[in-house]
Amino acid sequence: MLARRYVFRLIALAILLVFAAFFFVPIMWLILAPTKTDYQLVHESPFAFGSFGTFARTFSRVINYQGQLMLIWLKNSAIYSVGGTVLALAAAIPAGYGLALTQFIGRRALLAITLVVMIMPATALVLPLFLEASAVHLLGTVWAVILPFAFFPFGVYLAYIYFSSTIPRDLLAAARIDGAGEWGVFRHVALPLARPIVALVAFFAFVADWNNYYLPFVMTYTNSQYPVTIGLQILIGSAPVFSPTASGFAGSEIYRPDLAMATLIAITPVLIIFLFAQRTLVQGMLAGATKE
């Protein structure tokens, strides 16, 4: 018996290791790639380490590509994502609260609609949104990107779940009796207790906005407006390896390690945000509200 259990565990471990390796290898490769030159990348082992000097040179080449275009893209991504996240929060948190804890005609219908639009692929809406933005002359402005980002039904649903499952009704009743109006109840009681869900929705919204490619691709026209996702595409387009017709300016050729570097730079802000958000996501705010 014991031997059999041992064998099963070994098999399970082996399967897990294979899968772990499968997902880990590309990340490993991505982190190692900028330490090598293009020649080393192609001819040496995929897991070979180049040198820190090469890493620094690659970094500087990416940052300085065409007058620090990378920094402009990062700044644009930040503007779009922060703006979109702030608006998404301003809409999603009160909406989730309203759906969870107040009574009004059409509440169930709204909840159903929220679910439906949640499963709709965001890409499907890009074209009608483009026509809409065009009709109100917002194309080419930051609002053409930020306003669609504010539409975040998943956040509404998360907030709805949180409010309906964690806030005792009597707590709101107590605030109403204490003299608070509906806004006061939300502002003084529900919102302070919603910090974990605000952090969670903010994080998801930010990541979704930061990684969005297609919407800003349709809504913006110039290098100075593009976010970093489109920037990466442009970099790939200007790498001779991937597009033989591309002829970079002297000294500004893009090679494969540079693309890996650009990718790393593009995901770093999200990683940093995650590390900060994680702290706030810790629960425990409701301890002691009521006696169970």
Partner 1 sequence: MATVTYKNASRLYSKAQRKAVDGLNLEIGDGEFVVLVGPSGCGKTTSLRMLAGLENVDEGEILIGDRNVVNLPPRSRDIAMVFQNYALYPHMNVAQNMGFALKIAKVKRSEIDTRVQEAAAILDLQDYLQRKPGQLSGGQRQRVAMGRAIVRQPRVFLMDEPLSNLDAKLRVATRSQIHALQRRLGVTTIYVTHDQVEAMTMGDRVAVMKDGVLQQVDAPRRLYDSPVNAFVAGFIGSPAMNLMQGTLTADGVMIGSTVVPVPRDLQKAAGTGTVTIGLRPEALEIAGDGPGIPVVVNLVEELGAEAYVYAQLAEHAALATVTRTPDVIVRVDPHSAPSSGAKVALHVKAESMLLFDSESGARITGAEQ
- Give me the residues that bind partner 1 (CB under 8 A), please: 168, 170-171, 173-181, 184, 188-189, 192-193, 285-292
How far apart, in whole angstroms, are the C-alpha atoms of residue 171 and residue 195? 16
Instruction: Give the N- to C-terminal CA distance of the chain in Å, as an integer.
Output: 45
Nearest CB to partner 1, comparing residues 184 and 237? 184
Nearest CB to partner 1, comparing residues 26 and 168? 168
We find the least distance from the C-beta atom of residue 186 to partner 1, in angstroms, to be 13
We find the least distance from the C-beta atom of residue 282 to partner 1, in angstroms, to be 14
We find the least distance from the C-beta atom of residue 113 to partner 1, in angstroms, to be 24
Nearest CB to partner 1, comparing residues 5 and 169? 169
Q: Is 117 exposed, middle or buried (0-12, 13-18, 19+ CB in 10 A)?
A: middle
Nearest CB to partner 1, comparing residues 141 and 166? 166
Read out DSSP for 195-211?
HHHHHHHHHHHHHHHHH
Phi, psi of 20 (to 5 degrees): -60, -45
Structure tokens of 94?
């009160």
Nearest CB to partner 1, comparing residues 15 and 282? 282
Structure tokens of 159?
């907030």
How far apart, in whole angstroms, are the C-alpha atoms of residue 163 and residue 174? 16
CA distances from 125 to 54, 131, 140, 189, 225 (A): 43, 10, 18, 36, 21
Number of residues written out for the chain: 292
Please check whether residue 97 is in contact with residue 158, taking contact to mean a CB–CB distance below 8 angstroms.
no
Q: What residues contact residue 96 under an 8 Å CB cut-off, 6+ apart?
A: 155, 156, 157, 158, 159, 160, 161, 162, 163, 197
Nearest CB to partner 1, comparing residues 12 and 286? 286
We find the least distance from the C-beta atom of residue 279 to partner 1, in angstroms, to be 17
Q: What residues contact residue 230 under an 8 Å CB cut-off, 6+ apart?
A: 73, 213, 216, 217, 220
We find the least distance from the C-beta atom of residue 163 to partner 1, in angstroms, to be 15
We find the least distance from the C-beta atom of residue 89 to partner 1, in angstroms, to be 19
We find the least distance from the C-beta atom of residue 194 to partner 1, in angstroms, to be 10
